[in-house]
Amino acid sequence: MAPRLSFVLVAHREQAFLEPCLASILSQDAPDLEVVAVDDASDDHVPEVLDAIAERDPRVRVTHLGQRRGRGAGRALGLEQAAGEYVWFIRTTDLVEELPRLDGDVLLLQSVRESPIGRRSPAPRQSGLDDVSPEIFDKVFRRDLVGQFGPQGFDELTAIWPALLAAERVVVREEAAYVRRQPPNAVATGTAWDALDQYEALGDRGPLLRAAIRRHGVQLARGLRGAERRRFLRRVEQLSDTKGMVVRAEAGAARRRLRRLPAEARRTARRATDRDPLRRHYPARLRQPLDPKLAVFAAYWYRGYACNPRAIHERAQELVPGLRGVWVVNEGVAVPDGVEHVVAGSEAYYDVLARATYFVNNVNFPNHVVKRDGQIHVMTHHGTPLKQMGMDLAHLPGQRGLAGVLRRCRRWDYAVSANAFTTLQFERAYPTRYRTLETGYPRNDVLATATEESVRAAREAVGIEPSQTAVLYAPTHREYCDDPTPPLDLARFAEGLGDEHVVMARLHYFHDAHPLLRELHDAGRIRDVAAHPSVEELCLAADVLVTDYSSIMFDYAVLDRPIAIHAPDWEVYRERRGTYFDLLTEGPGAVARSDEELLELVRCGNERPDPAFRHRFTSLEDGHAAERVVEAVFA
């Protein structure tokens, strides 16, 4: 069957949005559509994502370009390859909600805007040529019509207006056909000045086009400042045969500045009356010069010396001469001898925050931390995501803090990723402008380079005899559950395994002081290892991992040892929290849906993780991840 509608998509970077975009198209109830995808020499995972989708769905055809040619040339190439009667050019960041009824020569579509935190609002409505938008993405063209104007270069405006003016019938669709997502990390495509060049290239400009230039020019000028905005608006005046735009724009800018004054005054007053006397002096410290050799490290909201930041710190001490690494910890938190540290909230704390050049953390620093020009923030994260994260949680009820999360993420210069899967999820979940370091996880270097000696030392550190089988139980946190008691009956589980097994239990760090575990520990029935300083050492010591939905499964898979998944409430967890894949079919191996099944698995099983799981999630874990991060950031 020949397709009636061809989607043309040109992809350069924006890898994290590609799969959801194509899924929104291919899930439509319309067998007579096709997707013509052009990989515009993207240097990320775009080529492999497109190829994987095309392999699954024959309606997708992919062309890979050896050199970047730009979106205009990419659209022209896609148009040449399209077979549909109609063509819809679409962005990788958009989502198709409903296919429009195809009619006329040009269809003007309505859309819904979606902010980075998931809030939706109607986009400006297109009701005809008098208020048509300047974009190509909210229109569907009859292919033979737009083909007359596109192939010479196919910039948006030089294709849109000739096609609109040549169309015999322009149809307005009332329903919202697609969602226009506006992620901050979308690839910029041209400048405001480029748009004016395209308008000028159209030559003879009648009243409809002059009005469009005025409307579009005012929109574009909002992104410019000062003298550049005035120059831009003067050119808009020339092209649209209009006067007074500069004066009106300056008056509007003055009104907006006046409206901002009360809010700025309130912020100044809050800073002046801050009850923390040390934090009141923080702004003064921010005027001191940066120390190019000072790096601040932190983990888990200042809970200790751990995780990826620890591994990066230790490797940086070896590779970066003169680097001074200072850890931030909460009061009462112990750190190893020789590790320089400051207590959160102290005078020394604010001093290093003000003067450090490098900031490395596996969570976001608090709101009061100011990022200065020249400071470099490295987000290491602390797990490969099974559960949905960041802005991907916007669809769940009660998500009120996402704007604050996004604001803190804007500090990032680098984000560490353990694998391609994580990269694709996190660049969408945390859509700000940073460079992803797809290096593997630094904390897993000790697992990737494990030796008999290091394993023996780890077992001795937690008191495991050579003849005993060590089982590490590490469940995750359930935000929707008020009771932090683990879903597994640990007493019965340990008793069922017998004396030849030792059960080490480590709950999520939100619940690391659970009284039940301490009671079972004191009775000698399990080992409560919540206070052990290194999760990695516990992994080395364990012969088997038992977990539910914790990211520890991805780390432990590096060791290629048995993993048993305890998933009695998988459907509830998937519905309430949201997940990126089906653990039951794509997990590391055997899954138990009850305590009894889990006991049998651990008693009898010695099955190693599925090779496909290990390849998907651990292929970068070669023992040199920390070194790669240090070389990228501190070199």
Predicted local distance difference test score (pLDDT) of residue 261:
57
- Highest averaged pLDDT of the listed ranges 256-265, 327-336, 393-402, 603-612: 327-336
Residues 6+ apart with CB under 8 A from 171: 103, 104, 106, 107, 108
Residues 6+ apart with CB under 8 A from 519: none
Question: 305-309, 512-516, 583-587 — which is least confidently predicted?
Answer: 512-516
Please name which of 89, 100, 105, 103 lies closest in space to residue 165, comparing C-alpha atoms.
Answer: 105
Structure token digits, residue 93: 């960041």
Predicted local distance difference test score (pLDDT) of residue 246:
61
- What mean pLDDT is predicted for residues 29-47? 96
In this structure, the number of other CB atoms found within 10 A of the CB of residue 269 comes to 10
Please name which of 119, 90, 115, 118 lies closest in space to residue 177, comparing C-alpha atoms.
Answer: 90
- Would you say 565 and 585 are in contact if contact means Cβ atoms under 8 Å apart? no
Residues 455-480: tens digit of each pLDDT: 999 999 999 999 999 999 999 988 88
Alpha carbon 593 to its chain centroid, in Å, reads 31
Predicted local distance difference test score (pLDDT) of residue 151:
47
- Would you say 499 and 464 are in contact if contact means Cβ atoms under 8 Å apart? no
Angle of helix 207-221 relative to helix 245-272, nearest 10 degrees? 20
Domain ranges of the chain: 5-189, 280-440, 445-618
- What mean pLDDT is predicted for residues 559-575? 96
pLDDT at 620 over 80: yes
CA distance 282 to 276: 10
Predicted local distance difference test score (pLDDT) of residue 511:
63
Residue 430's φ and ψ, nearest 5 degrees, are -125, 75
- Would you say 566 and 547 are in contact if contact means Cβ atoms under 8 Å apart? yes
Question: How crowded is the C-beta side of 548, counted as CA atoms within 13 Å?
Answer: 24
pLDDT at 298 over 90: yes
CA distance 42 to 318: 35
CA distance 445 to 536: 9
Maximum pairwise Cα distance, the chain: 90
User: ∠ CA 46-50-52 to the nearest 5 degrees?
Assistant: 120
Q: Which pTM was predicted? A: 0.92
CATH of 5-189 given 3.90.550.10, 3.30.530.20, 3.40.50.10260, 1.10.287.130: 3.90.550.10
CA distance 564 to 590: 6
CA distance 310 to 600: 37
Question: 70-74, 383-387, 445-449 — which is least confidently predicted?
Answer: 70-74
CATH class of 445-618: alpha beta
CA torsion sign for 597, 598, 603, 609 is positive
- Would you say 346 and 278 are in contact if contact means Cβ atoms under 8 Å apart? yes
CA distance 316 to 338: 15
pLDDT at 271 over 70: no
Structure token digits, residue 410: 């804007």
Predicted local distance difference test score (pLDDT) of residue 275:
61
- Would you say 87 and 143 are in contact if contact means Cβ atoms under 8 Å apart? yes
Residues 371-387: tens digit of each pLDDT: 999 999 999 999 999 99
Higher pLDDT, 260 or 626: 626
- Would you say 550 and 510 are in contact if contact means Cβ atoms under 8 Å apart? no
Question: 161-165, 186-190, 243-247, 275-279 — which is least confidently predicted?
Answer: 243-247
Residues 480-490: tens digit of each pLDDT: 877 778 899 99
Question: 118-122, 156-160, 471-475 — which is least confidently predicted?
Answer: 156-160
Residues 522-552: tens digit of each pLDDT: 888 899 999 899 999 999 999 999 999 999 9
Please name which of 264, 271, 108 lies closest in space to residue 176, comparing C-alpha atoms.
Answer: 108
- Would you say 206 and 162 are in contact if contact means Cβ atoms under 8 Å apart? no
Predicted local distance difference test score (pLDDT) of residue 600:
95
Question: Distances in Å between the alpha carbon of 477 and those of 331, 480, 484?
Answer: 25, 9, 8
CA distance 417 to 425: 10
Residues 256-270: tens digit of each pLDDT: 556 665 665 555 545
Q: Average per-residue pLDDT in the chain?
A: 91
CATH of domain 280-440: 3.40.50.11820
- Would you say 39 and 46 are in contact if contact means Cβ atoms under 8 Å apart? yes
Length of the chain: 635
- Highest averaged pLDDT of the listed ranges 72-76, 97-101, 129-133, 481-485: 97-101
pLDDT at 222 over 70: yes
DSSP code at position 84 = S
Higher pLDDT, 517 or 451: 451
Residues 6+ apart with CB under 8 A from 317: 323, 325
Predicted local distance difference test score (pLDDT) of residue 253:
56
Q: Three-state SS for 293? A: strand
CA distance 512 to 5: 56
Residues 374-422: tens digit of each pLDDT: 999 999 999 999 999 999 999 888 788 999 999 999 999 999 999 999 9
Does 280-440 match 5-189 at the fold level? Answer: no
